């Protein structure tokens, strides 16, 4: 059983999450068969996981490099005058940006973005640097992705190094 933020899930919920993270398109009937439970029980548990906000949606994993988006950039931002949230919300609207995080340390925020060309990246940086309250940016081009994403099964079974 896992308890976090006052949300309690049981062992069956964990088993269901492990299956769904490997294949979000699997049918409730197949999950029920795999776990030797009734489809009604599985559907009820999945609905509860959705209602609790644990399952937020179902998605397809896209290989963006195969679509030509092979430039991945991490952009650090320093933002002034307490306008961090306003600037972040504004910047987050750009279609090449797929993540915006508040952070601690030297910078105030980190942005992750994808591009087909260096010119597109350059254009985004000019847009960001022209925003009021953006003091400076520091951009990193990500050369190789060693690991991306979290494996719920491994995470939920992790004990210690």
Query: Mean of the pLDDT values across residues 77-91?
Result: 94
Query: Mean of the pLDDT values across residues 12-41?
Result: 94
CA distances from 131 to 1, 21, 88, 137, 153 (A): 47, 38, 11, 11, 42
Query: Mean of the pLDDT values across residues 99-120?
Result: 97
* Burial environment of residue 75 by CB neighbours within 10 A (0 to 12, 13 to 18, 19 or more): buried
- The structural domains of the chain, ordered by start, are 6-51 (1.10.10.10), 65-142 (3.30.70.920)
pTM of the model: 0.80
Query: Mean of the pLDDT values across residues 145-159?
Result: 81
Cα(153)–Cα(17) distance, integer angstroms: 8
Predicted confidence (pLDDT) at residue 157 exceeds the cutoff of 50 = yes
Q: What is the mean pLDDT of the chain?
A: 92
Q: Residue 161 has what pLDDT?
A: 38
């Amino acid at each position: 059983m896992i308890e976090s933020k006052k949300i309690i899930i049981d062992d069956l919920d964990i088993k269901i999450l492990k299956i769904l993270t490997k294949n979000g398109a699997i049918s409730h009937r197949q999950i029920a068969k795999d776990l030797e439970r009734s489809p009604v029980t599985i559907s009820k548990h999945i609905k509860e996981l959705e209602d609790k906000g644990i399952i937020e949606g179902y998605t397809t994993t896209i290989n963006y490099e195969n679509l030509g988006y092979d430039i991945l950039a991490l952009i650090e931002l320093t933002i002034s005058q307490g306008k961090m949230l306003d600037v972040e919300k504004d910047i987050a609207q750009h279609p090449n940006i797929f993540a915006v995080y508040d952070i601690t340390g030297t910078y105030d925020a980190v942005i992750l973005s994808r591009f087909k060309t260096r010119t597109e990246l350059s254009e985004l940086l000019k847009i960001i640097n022209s925003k009021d309250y953006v003091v400076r940016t520091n951009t990193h081009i990500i050369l190789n992705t060693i690991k991306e994403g979290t494996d719920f099964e491994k995470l939920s079974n992790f004990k210690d190094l």
